[in-house]
Structure 1
Amino acid sequence: MSNGSAGRAARSLVRPDGETSGTAPLRTFLYTVDGTSIDSVYDPGPVVYDTSPSPADHPVFVVAHGFTGDVDRPHVRRVVRVLARYGAVVTFSFRGHGASGGRSTVGDREVLDLAAAVGWARSLGHTRVATVGFSMGGSVVLRHAALHRDAEGTDAVVSVSAPARWYYRGTAPMRRLHWLVTRPAGRLVGRYGFRTRIHHRDWDPVPLSPVEAVPRIAPTPLLVVHGDQDGYFPVDHPRMLAEAAAGHAELWLEPGMGHAEHAAADPLLTRIAEWTAARLRESG
């Protein structure tokens, strides 16, 4: 949930580059229910606030980045530029990433970060909210949709390049990632090489896995997107997610696509935005 300071920062119209303008994106820190500060940016997209229609008439995309990303990374800003053609966009840095507080729990308590961002989007007047997540963020949007059915919930879900199950080590990139997360030397590399502060404690308890979360998402519209050349998670992961949805999810296996934001070309992001906007219109 966001607190009063978020509203005050929003009214100051602070752009990501630090300048101010009446039409600029809004930048603020949100606070999660466990007290973690989350660096967040709201891009109005095509919405014009001093005329009709109101923000309630426009969709908002809440983007959940992948592990070691943050709100200022060029690949995250590129996603924003494409989605902003179809609605407003909220981006944020997960805990332990960029300027946000706390330490990364690699997909566990990050659900609280996403809930704060969705709550902020609704507090700005949007009644149609979609979550779009990549890699770690893809697993977070699935778990968030399963666990939040309140004002911090979502009306459509897009999960891109997400794992289906925890502790997967079947590819070289995932073995390297496990070293980064579980070893003291790896966490130092994460902090100084990737601007990502990783929590040293193991999960206790182990959180609900993405494949366990998927059946709980219905009837919220769900799109699972995955590249057939993903070097982190092979195509059995998206197929497991789609199967767990029991016909509720739509699955796009993208030929030649690699992993997450870097591999999601603008035409694919455009298709995702169009699919999401259509589902939100149907639900609204």
Structure 2
Amino acid sequence: MNFRQHFTPKHLPRTVALAAAAYVAAIAVGALVGAEVLLRSKSRWVKGSFLVVGRSGDRLLLPPVPESLSRDVLGVVPLNPVRGHAVIGHVERRGPYVERPVLEERGVIQPGWIAWVSSFVYNGTPAQLDANYENVVVRTDVGDMPAWHVPSVTGERDLIVIQIHGHGGQRSQGLRVLRSLERTGAAQLYVTFRNAFGAPRVGKGHMTLGDVEAEDVLSALEWARGQGYQQAVLMGYSMGGNIALSALRPSFEPLPLPVRGVVLDSPALEWRDVIRRQARRGGLPQFIAKPVGRMIERLVTRRSGQNFDTVDQLAAAPRFGVPILLFHSPSDKTIPYWQAKALAEARPDLVEFHTVEGARHIRCWNIDPERYEAALEAFIRRVTESRRDQL
């Protein structure tokens, strides 16, 4: 008995119907999951791996896992954080263990300890850098947003850099540049926004991908003005970059405090493209990924009222009026590199674009901290001096 004896033309309609049903089900499930992640994603924990740490002099030895083998500068925090913290450099030797040099250390990391190891480097507060800071709240119409205020080392209240974390992220992801910003003489405010971890939940807890969250940044600018600051720079990571640019839209003018520049690290500039990319990255074949992306967009709009045009920063590029420092990597698998390149090409008069080869999403600093910080510090000084020249 062969296949033809079992499969006859009368079976064809049923087979086509089952295939069609499976196709529709795959699109529906993918879209429902994707929409939920886009609307609500937040995490109590900063991404990283818990590993048993070894030591040989000024080198730490780590098991060979993806995080320890990455090209990034890493942070190491013992399970008991009061025992210390270390920043370790790039891989020097691979074998049964991954060997990395200790660049900075607070306390002494002991062999045999279990520690959090991550390219986000810090998972706590500015205390991990022995920084002088205070816990503050930014008052908004929907509740108090927690923030860290790091005063200027000079004591002046002139420029403040407002750090805005990304989708599903936390304030600590910005701590990697705390020391760099201190060297510029700027104060710092690490903020969060509605429906993110640790912040007030509003309505159904839906995020708006930079749209309404921008109002919380306006409140942060209001807070800074109330503290006596004269000017600000906005620094945003991933979705935080979209929030920073959304805060500059004409409907919000005049701003509570003048914004002299914007720093963007791996910014999400056009969300429809990001959605399609993530659907494809999730392993869906192209013929399913495209309709899933379109369905996610429709579901998000229906559930939250999201206006994707409002947060399309590439379309908004002609109206930008402040200098922009932009970091992105062609290796970013979360936010397409072409978006940053398109922004730089659209506004070469404003955008200083730094391509960072080999960096993962919002890990541009980790590949070459010295180069990243040199560009950041030069940008901060330039926009500040530009204001002084105008006075």
Q: TM-score, normalised by structure 1?
A: 0.72
Matched residue, 1:245: 347
- Please report how far the alpha carbon of residue 225 of structure 1 lies from its aligned counterpart in structure 2 after TM superposition: 1.8
- 1:167 matched to 2:272? The reply is yes
Matched residue, 1:217: 320
Matched residue, 1:151: 256
Match of 2:375 among 244, 265, 271: 271
Q: What letter matches 1:27 in structure 2? A: N
From the superposition, tell whether residues 173 and 82 of structure 1 become closer, same or farther in structure 2 (CA, over 3 Å): farther
Q: What letter matches 1:145 in structure 2? A: L
Report if aligned partners of 2:209, 2:242 keep a CA contact under 8 Å in 1: no
Report if aligned partners of 1:174, 1:232 keep a CA contact under 8 Å in 2: no
Report if aligned partners of 1:60, 1:89 keep a CA contact under 8 Å in 2: yes
- Please report how far the alpha carbon of residue 25 of structure 1 lies from its aligned counterpart in structure 2 after TM superposition: 1.8
From the superposition, tell whether residues 155 and 134 of structure 1 become closer, same or farther in structure 2 (CA, over 3 Å): same
Deviation track 1:110-133 (CA, whole Å, cap 9, x = no partner) reads 101111112222222221310111
What does residue range 95-134 of structure 1 map to in structure 2 within 5 Å? 95-102=194-201, 103=205, 104-134=207-237
Matched residue, 1:283: 387
- Please report how far the alpha carbon of residue 227 of structure 1 lies from its aligned counterpart in structure 2 after TM superposition: 1.3
Matched residue, 2:84: none
What does residue range 4-43 of structure 1 map to in structure 2 within 5 Å? 24-32=132-140, 34-43=141-150
Match of 1:257 among 354, 359, 364: 359
Deviation track 1:184-205 (CA, whole Å, cap 9, x = no partner) reads xxxxxxxxxxxxxxx9524157
**1: CA distance between counterparts of 2:335 and 2:377?**
23
Report if aligned partners of 2:218, 2:247 keep a CA contact under 8 Å in 1: yes
Higher strand share: 2
What does residue range 219-234 of structure 1 map to in structure 2 within 5 Å? 220-234=322-336
From the superposition, tell whether residues 26 and 213 of structure 1 become closer, same or farther in structure 2 (CA, over 3 Å): farther
Deviation track 1:111-160 (CA, whole Å, cap 9, x = no partner) reads 01111112222222221310111100011111212344322441111111
From the superposition, tell whether residues 127 and 173 of structure 1 become closer, same or farther in structure 2 (CA, over 3 Å): farther
SS in 1 for 2:345: helix
**2: CA distance between counterparts of 1:231 and 1:213?**
24
**1: CA distance between counterparts of 2:332 and 2:281?**
15
**1: CA distance between counterparts of 2:334 and 2:365?**
15
After the TM superposition, which segments of 4 or more aligned residues of structure 1 sit over 6 Å from their partners? none
Deviation track 1:207-235 (CA, whole Å, cap 9, x = no partner) reads 241112322221x2122221121111232
The CA RMSD measured in Å over matched residues stands at 3.1
Report if aligned partners of 2:163, 2:235 keep a CA contact under 8 Å in 1: yes
**2: CA distance between counterparts of 1:35 and 1:247?**
37
- Please report how far the alpha carbon of residue 91 of structure 1 lies from its aligned counterpart in structure 2 after TM superposition: 0.6
Matched residue, 2:25: none
Match of 1:236 among 332, 338, 342: 338
Q: What letter matches 2:324 in structure 1? A: L
Q: Structure 2: where are the runs of 5+ without partners?
A: 1-124, 283-288, 297-301
Q: What letter matches 1:165 in structure 2? A: E
Q: What letter matches 1:146 in structure 2? A: R
Report if aligned partners of 1:39, 1:100 keep a CA contact under 8 Å in 2: yes
SS in 1 for 2:316: helix
**1: CA distance between counterparts of 2:279 and 2:221?**
31
Deviation track 1:28-76 (CA, whole Å, cap 9, x = no partner) reads 22222x424211111013132xxxxx313xx2111111111122x3x33
SS in 2 for 1:55: coil
Q: What letter matches 2:157 in structure 1? A: P
Q: TM-score, normalised by structure 2?
A: 0.54
- 1:80 matched to 2:178? The reply is yes
Q: What letter matches 1:105 in structure 2? A: T
Structure 1, 161-170 or 231-240: larger mean CA deviation: 161-170
Higher relative contact order (CA 8 A, sep 6+): 1
Report if aligned partners of 1:230, 1:257 keep a CA contact under 8 Å in 2: yes
Q: Structure 1: where are the runs of 5+ without partners?
A: 1-15, 49-53, 184-198
Q: Percent identity?
A: 21
**2: CA distance between counterparts of 1:171 and 1:83?**
33
SS in 2 for 1:31: strand
- Figure out how many residues of one structure are paired with residues of the other and give that number: 237
Q: Which has the larger radius of gyration?
A: 2
Matched residue, 2:70: none
